[in-house]
Structure 1
Amino acid sequence: MIYRSLLILCVITASSLNADEVSFTATDGGATIHLDGKQFATFVHTESPVGRPYISNLFTTDHIKVTRNHPTTKDDPDDHPHHQGIFFTWGQLNGLDYWHMRGRTVHDRFLKNPTNGKIAYFSTRSYYLADDNKSRIAREDATYTFRKTPFGILVTLQATVTGESAAATFGSKEEGGLAVRMSKDLTVDAGASMTDDEGRNGGGEIWGKDSKWVDYAGEKQDRWVGVTLFTNPASFRKCWWHARDYGLLAANPLGPLNDPKQSVVLKKGESFTVHYGVMIHSNSDQAEYSPAKAYKYYLSQMPK
């Protein structure tokens, strides 16, 4: 039944697409995502009994990979197998760890089926289950959009999380929110750069701070490529950053991080909403791309 809504998708050939159109092709566990007929990402909603939706194997418009290989290859670092690409989750919810996939998240259905266009989109509903793997602690309704922009490929996420139990307690851990795991050759450890809108550099300076955006980028295939993760003032809280030089970047609204006083409790029916943007960029050199201008553009494209 979880695949029923995907059956209406059509396979669209490159010759039938309009320029700059994003399209989807159904798979058993999600969909592949294409720009002008060329695949640049994969959405997976059902991979294992533990579950958790994610987007993996993201490429720039000129087809340079920016996120880690998933599944990893023999040449990849074997750390953190739960860092699939882009993913949204929580490190502590009613004592369960969904970040490390020890708590189970299940895809229920598409609220809006994958729809092609210059701004392509889909909406999903997922449930965070208790340790009996049956009782629902919280519900997540998430809308993803994909579009080509003057700055690169923009992916946006709006997620509304609603309590399904008497009390859904989201603990303040460093692991939580929207996360990106970079390709192994686009990490600070490999010589890439990580900067935020306050001028801080590297995981040592950015970790635990709040900022509007963080850009993680470096040289690859004679291009300056990377990912800028945007926060949004429309979210219920500002975000704090879990940033690591080995390639992880996460924007978490439950900050300051690892502070129990920042936990959020949702009674049944109560909710909060967060908004994010991810710009996948590729330019001839570093000076050609401005994260600050890309962020301003992202905000201009969001519904008022």
Structure 2
Amino acid sequence: MLTRVLPLLALATLLAAPARAASDVQITAADDRLKITVAGKPFTEYIFKGMPRPILYPVLAADGTEMTRHYPMRKGVAGEVEDHPHHRSLWFTHGDVNGIDFWAENSDKKGRIVNQSVTHAVADGAARITSRNRWVGPDGAVHLEDETVIRLHGTADARFIDYEVTLKAPAGKPAVLGDTKEGSMAIRLPLWMTPTHSQGRGKKHEGKGTIVNAEGVRNDATWGKRSTWVDYHAPRDGKVYGVAMFDHPANPRHPTWWHVRTYALFAANPFGKHDFENLKDQPKAGEMVIPAGGSVTFRWRFYFHFGDERAGRVAEQYQAYAARR
């Protein structure tokens, strides 16, 4: 009996810790963004205007270290690689909705996610943002709508961002989420977090970072695999910083596939099956059709921690998150 009680007590402690330790969460509203602080320290900003889609930027660890790339919001930052301008800090989108690309940008052929309303509150030790958006194609037609609820909280040594995204098809037509690797719940990390990797054109970056999933698969081999969680961590100035992403067990197609790259793109994508599993003769294997007027909901958590996946207790934190129904 004792061996069963102790794990349950540990899980209960993890479930209670974030809310207990994050009583001082504040939201400051501006015209185009919401600024979130934890215990008086900047955490992140939800920017919902002036971008091709809403994003969180910047995102800071509990000690103030910046955990996402600045480009393209800020250009010319020392030590950054200015590639993939559509990788904007932390965001949700998809590369094929009714044949329209909402992942890439800077083209009149790409879609935009246009905010309609934002509400916010602080309750139970967390900031809660509810954002309603329309996915607008190049022709001005609305192909999809979403209601995204973001919950942000923290402890003395960790930060948490929970996304609950409900995708809604318009009343008059279905929404087809196509099978492509280009999606969906994503973060672009800073270069210092990466493992050693090729930067193209014969260039090689010598990195000290590690990518690992719940099965212990590491680095390049994690790409396209299904797993309940993935952790990305690296040393900096004598301390190890990590970012884990959790796929909630209630999600459709759980465990998700991971579009995670050694150059610092880190994304969960439940739609890219034929790309990830190399099913060249099944280009629609991962396609999802939301019927006209219907909806589907996904949930993910970002966990910003110190230490590697063991020191950061990533597996235990995942179990605590998974227990939240």
TM-score exceeds 0.5: yes
Partner of 1:261, secondary structure, is coil
Deviation at 1:24, TM superposition (A): 1.2
Instruction: Give the distance between the partners of 1:32 and 1:216, measured in 2 at CA.
Output: 25
Partner of 2:87, secondary structure, is coil
Consecutive unaligned residues in structure 2, runs of 5 or more: 1-20, 197-206, 276-282
Correspondence 1:217-296 to 2 at 5 A? 217-238=233-254, 239-258=256-275, 259-283=283-307, 287-296=310-319
Instruction: Give the distance between the partners of 2:152 and 2:25, measured in 1 at CA.
Output: 7
Correspondence 1:179-198 to 2 at 5 A? 179-189=186-196, 190-198=207-215
Deviation at 1:149, TM superposition (A): 4.1
Matching of residue 175 in structure 1 with residue 191 in structure 2: no
Deviation at 1:68, TM superposition (A): 0.9
Q: Which residue of 1 aligns with 2:322?
A: 299
Partner of 2:100, secondary structure, is coil
Consecutive unaligned residues in structure 1, runs of 5 or more: 1-17
Q: Which residue of 1 aligns with 2:167?
A: 161
For 2:232, which of 185, 202, 216 is the aligned residue?
216
Instruction: Give the distance between the partners of 2:123 and 2:47, measured in 1 at CA.
Output: 17
Matching of residue 81 in structure 1 with residue 85 in structure 2: yes
Structure 1 ranges of 4+ moved more than 6 A:
none
> Judging changes above 3 Å, is the alpha-carbon distance between structure 1 residues 32 and 257 closer, same or farther for their aligned structure 2 residues?
farther
Structure 2-normalised TM-score?
0.81
Instruction: Give the distance between the partners of 1:280 and 1:214, measured in 2 at CA.
Output: 12
Deviation at 1:291, TM superposition (A): 1.4
Partner of 1:297, secondary structure, is helix
Contact kept? 2:120, 2:127, Cα under 8 Å: no
> Judging changes above 3 Å, is the alpha-carbon distance between structure 1 residues 40 and 150 closer, same or farther for their aligned structure 2 residues?
closer
For 1:119, which of 117, 121, 126 is the aligned residue?
126
| Counterpart amino acid of residue 154 in structure 1 | F
Correspondence 1:141-152 to 2 at 5 A? 141-149=147-155, 152=158
| Counterpart amino acid of residue 170 in structure 1 | L
Contact kept? 2:55, 2:89, Cα under 8 Å: yes
Partner of 2:273, secondary structure, is coil
Give the alignment's Cα RMSD to 1 decimal. Answer: 1.9
For 1:100, which of 104, 112, 117 is the aligned residue?
104
Deviation at 1:295, TM superposition (A): 0.9
Contact kept? 2:257, 2:269, Cα under 8 Å: yes
Partner of 2:86, secondary structure, is coil
Instruction: Give the distance between the partners of 2:165 and 2:22, measured in 1 at CA.
Output: 29
Instruction: Give the distance between the partners of 1:176 and 1:245, measured in 2 at CA.
Output: 16
Deviation at 1:227, TM superposition (A): 0.6
| Counterpart amino acid of residue 83 in structure 2 | D
Contact kept? 2:189, 2:265, Cα under 8 Å: yes
Deviation at 1:130, TM superposition (A): 2.4
Partner of 2:317, secondary structure, is helix
Contact kept? 1:208, 1:241, Cα under 8 Å: yes
For 2:37, which of 34, 39, 48 is the aligned residue?
34
Instruction: Give the distance between the partners of 1:68 and 1:127, measured in 2 at CA.
Output: 26
> Judging changes above 3 Å, is the alpha-carbon distance between structure 1 residues 250 and 175 closer, same or farther for their aligned structure 2 residues?
same
Deviation at 1:148, TM superposition (A): 1.4
Matching of residue 72 in structure 1 with residue 89 in structure 2: no
| Counterpart amino acid of residue 111 in structure 2 | G
Contact kept? 1:21, 1:116, Cα under 8 Å: no
> Judging changes above 3 Å, is the alpha-carbon distance between structure 1 residues 81 and 255 closer, same or farther for their aligned structure 2 residues?
closer
Deviation at 1:140, TM superposition (A): 0.5
Contact kept? 2:150, 2:163, Cα under 8 Å: yes
Contact kept? 2:232, 2:243, Cα under 8 Å: yes
Instruction: Give the distance between the partners of 1:84 and 1:220, measured in 2 at CA.
Output: 22
Structure 1-normalised TM-score?
0.86
Instruction: Give the distance between the partners of 1:125 and 1:166, measured in 2 at CA.
Output: 19
Q: CA deviation digits over 1:20-62, x for unaligned, max 9? A: 42211112211111111211211111124xx201111111111
Deviation at 1:99, TM superposition (A): 0.7
Q: Which residue of 2 aligns with 1:3?
A: none
Between the aligned residues of both structures, percent identity stands at 28
Number of residue pairs matched? 279
Instruction: Give the distance between the partners of 2:226 and 2:68, measured in 1 at CA.
Output: 23
> Judging changes above 3 Å, is the alpha-carbon distance between structure 1 residues 145 and 277 closer, same or farther for their aligned structure 2 residues?
same
Contact kept? 1:151, 1:294, Cα under 8 Å: no
